[in-house]
Amino acid sequence: MFNFPDPTQAQLTEDGQLKHFLDIEGLPESLLLELLDTADSFVDMSEQQVKKVPLLRGKTVANLFFENSTRTLSTFELAAKRLSADVLNLNISTSSTKKGETLKDTLMTLEAMHSDMFVVRHSDSGAAHFIASQVTPNVAIINAGDGRHAHPTQAMLDMMTIRRHKGGFKHLKVAIVGDILHSRVARSQIHALRILGVPEIRLIAPRTLLPRNVEMLGVKVFTNMAQGLRDADVVIMLRLQKERMTSALLPSESEFFKLYGLSEEKLAFAHPEAIVMHPGPINRGVEIASSVADGPKSVILNQVTNGIAVRMAVMSMAMSGQVAERAKKLEAGE
Ligand code: CP
């Protein structure tokens, strides 16, 4: 576990531009909207014959994934390539970290190769903040998920998906269902939904899978699906993170599905136009029925597609913040 410096100070330039992307907490609404608008512009570009822009030409992006990933790693790689960056995917299982090299030495080695951006996934909360505090100021750090703490690009691709399907945020009831306790995604989503002005955020879970005092985040808590889903416009399902459970928090998966799994019957409590989301990977028959995951209200694969545009937006904005900060320091003779 690492410490967290002030997230806003750590990730913004003096002029309020993004220079790292570590956490949603503390970011202004205007910056989140700029990020979503920038991502929308990249969607149009992805529909062109040539899906590349030169915004990161000559820059090197290193993907450092110390924990498994399918969606996040592949969409960051695609996003960096569409921005014309050179991309280095460090294979942690065959890297020198397996020979006892410290994280700091691995970072210094990659800095010596003149990397401009590290995209970091790590099982320890605070890892991305720690790395941002260790590297030279010219390297942008993007948090691709740290422990139970935050997954800010996932939350922003979720916000993009909600906005594209629902037209905005300020009229919505959003229900987040399942293993809230271990979910970095839920934490980042709650911050993003609050900043973007969603009036009603509901969490639905058994008490054993809810963080203590979670109501302080400005959410309504339900332990019953029928009550929590009533009239919801957006239903976000979460995976049971058994790898992070240190004690038995559930009777069984089948009991969990019976009470909290999203079946067509339970989905009928939500608004008739509701959309169903899931950050993935999904566990069919545990938190969601196949007929719902593959059904007409599911936007799960749209989330994956939107991940490319959102990650392009995050990388291009952080890089331009870095360039602006460097120019200001040069002008000041630093
Ligand atoms: N949603 C998400 O982070 O998926 P991956 O673990 O596959 O990257």
For CA atoms 119, 125, 130, 132, the dihedral sign is positive
What is the predicted pLDDT for the residue at 231? Answer: 98
Residue in 63, 72, 143 to alter for ligand 1 test, most ligand atoms within 8 A of Cβ: 72
Residues with CB under 6 A from ligand 1: 69-72, 145, 154, 279-281
In the chain, % of residues over pLDDT 70: 96
d(CA 106, CA 314): 24
d(CA 288, CA 325): 45
Residue in 154, 282, 287 to alter for ligand 1 test, most ligand atoms within 8 A of Cβ: 154
On whether the CB atoms of residues 283 and 134 are closer than 8 A, the answer is no
d(CA 115, CA 91): 16
pTM for the predicted model, two decimal places: 0.94
* 141 CA to centre of ligand 1 in angstroms: 18
Q: For residue 72, which atom of ligand 1 is closest to its CA?
A: 8
Count of beta carbons in the 10 Å neighbourhood of residue 90: 18
Residue 92 burial (10 A CB sphere; 0-12, 13-18, 19+): middle
d(CA 25, CA 22): 9
The protein residue with its alpha carbon nearest to ligand 1, atom 6, reads: 69
Higher pLDDT, 88 or 47: 88
- Starting from the edge strand earliest in sequence, which strands make up the sheet with 220-222, in order? 220-222, 200-204, 173-177, 234-237, 275-277
* pLDDT confidence tier of residue 137, bands split at 50, 70 and 90: confident
Mean pLDDT confidence for 48-75: 93
DSSP 321: H
- Tokens in use for 268? 């009928």
For CA atoms 182, 186, 192, 193, the dihedral sign is negative
Q: pLDDT tens digit string along 199-216?
A: 999 999 999 999 999 999
* 326 CA to centre of ligand 1 in angstroms: 33
What mean pLDDT is reported for the chain?
A: 93
Domains of the chain: 7-150+305-331 (3.40.50.1370), 152-299 (3.40.50.1370)
Higher pLDDT, 232 or 240: 232
Mean pLDDT confidence for 46-64: 91
**Token match 């839920």: residue?**
186
What is the predicted pLDDT for the residue at 273? Answer: 98
What is the predicted pLDDT for the residue at 192? Answer: 98
* 14 CA to centre of ligand 1 in angstroms: 32
* 279 CA to centre of ligand 1 in angstroms: 7
Residue in 63, 66, 71 to alter for ligand 1 test, most ligand atoms within 8 A of Cβ: 71
